[in-house]
Amino acid sequence: MKDISQYIELFRTERALLDSHSQALLNAHRDEAAEAFMRLGFPSRKVERYRYTDVAEAFAPNYGLKLDTPPAAMNLPEVAATRYGTLANVQNDAITALNTMLVQDVIVIYVPADQRREHPVQLTNTLRSSVPLMQNRRLLIIAEAGAEVQVLQTDKAEGGQDFLTTQVTEIFVGEGAHVEFYDMEDSHSRCHRFHQVYAQVAAGGHLTHTTFTLASGLSRNQADVRLVGQGADALLLGCAITDGQQHVDNNTLIEHIAPGCTSRELYKYVVDQQSSGAFAGRVLVRQEAEKTDSIERNANLVCTEQARMWTQPMLEIYADDVKCSHGSTVGQLNNDALFYMRQRGISEAEARMLLKQAFASEVLAAIPLEALRQRLHVLVEKRFRNCEDCKLCQKNNR
């Protein structure tokens, strides 16, 4: 297990700088988080939800923190204080505790009752540094009753430096509110990212949460969605395209607490070369959650002998009258289809590319935001075509 002292030390020495460059709300939670982090330590593979990812490896480089940039706004809206940290599980999740301890900034997206954002809010994070860099960020999305908002977050990185990102996102979907959160990572093989999403959906509310990993080094995305009001509804979509030494781990928990809620979950992976993927999705139906309707599916394409995929769909039901299903598949490219295409004159590389793209297209087709759907079709094709040309991948593969 990775020694946490490096990060505790970092926190102690930089505490004053952190505090002076952050909002009081963030500072108020640091001590409690540090205590929890010291108690929990970095999760080993014996911790159930972290069994598929070697956390220590990601935290090994000697990262620096960039502390001289003040946040965009020192004064947070009143509503942020009442919600910040109320969903995030600081006491039991070490990465959430670490993030809360070292957090540098928070973005708050607040949509008052019955207001509707006509255009999506787009957040673009671009990492650029000459030394190994760590960043710890927060996102707080609050949609009051009847509000509607779409948020798109994109992660990019420039230059071949080691980067480590921790992010905690808390999403509050009010009664009858509608929130779509799109998380897209298109970085490079030396980027490590841990993203913990905590969402709560009130009665009649809807949440779409999608995670697209086009390129990264190590990505671990965790999503905990609580359906707390009658008729709440969640759609979770994910797609990961991995190659080289890449590792992508999506870990989800959908908790049906109120009756009559619906959840749909579809994650697809295309795992190539020596890369690995993991998906663990737990659907927990509480005793009161009668008339739950839940479908969970994970499908994976493993392209080489060396590529690895772990999949673990879990269904835990304590109510009597529910309609739930879960399933997962792991397969290879269809050789008959490959040969059929080659007979028509399509090269092997192109045929493989078309089949991979076709496999991923099912998740893309399910994306509610049309402009993003079309854009992702292009990006996915580009990703499949370019990966052999990408200098960074090549450097790390050989």
Q: Which of 97, 177, 341, 393 binds other proteins (CB under 8 A)?
A: 341
- Which amino acid is it at 106? V
Using CB under 8 A as the binding rule, whether residue 45 contacts other proteins is answered as no
Q: Which of 68, 320, 321, 336 binds other proteins (CB under 8 A)?
A: 336
Number of residues that bind other proteins (CB under 8 A): 22
- What separation, in Å, do the N-terminal and C-terminal C-alpha atoms of the chain show? 28
In the bound state with other proteins, the residue whose beta carbon lies nearer, of 82 and 343, is 343
Residue whose pair of structure tokens reads 């671009």 in the numeric block: 126
Using CB under 8 A as the binding rule, whether residue 355 contacts other proteins is answered as yes
DSSP state of 121: E
Using CB under 8 A as the binding rule, whether residue 389 contacts other proteins is answered as no
Q: What is the x/- site pattern for other proteins, positions 293-332, by CB under 8 A?
A: ----------------------------------------
Separation in Å, CA 12 to CA 16, 126, 219: 8, 27, 27
Reference 386, options 214, 183, 156; nearest CA is 214
In the bound state with other proteins, the residue whose beta carbon lies nearer, of 202 and 380, is 380
Q: Which of 67, 123, 145, 346 binds other proteins (CB under 8 A)?
A: 346
Q: Which of 221, 252, 262, 357 binds other proteins (CB under 8 A)?
A: 357
Q: Which of 308, 362, 390, 396 binds other proteins (CB under 8 A)?
A: 362
Using CB under 8 A as the binding rule, whether residue 116 contacts other proteins is answered as no
Find out whether 173 and 149 touch, Cβ atoms under 8 Å: no
Beta-strand pair 218-227/178-186: unpaired
Find out whether 152 and 182 touch, Cβ atoms under 8 Å: yes
Reference 96, options 243, 23, 199, 197; nearest CA is 197
User: In this chain, which stretch among 29-37, 287-295, 324-332, 348-356 interacts with other proteins, using CB under 8 A?
Assistant: 348-356
Using CB under 8 A as the binding rule, whether residue 376 contacts other proteins is answered as no
Axis crossing angle, helix 5-20 with helix 94-102, rounded to the nearest 10: 40
Given the rule CB under 8 A, which residues bind other proteins?
334-337, 339-348, 350, 354-355, 357-359, 361-362
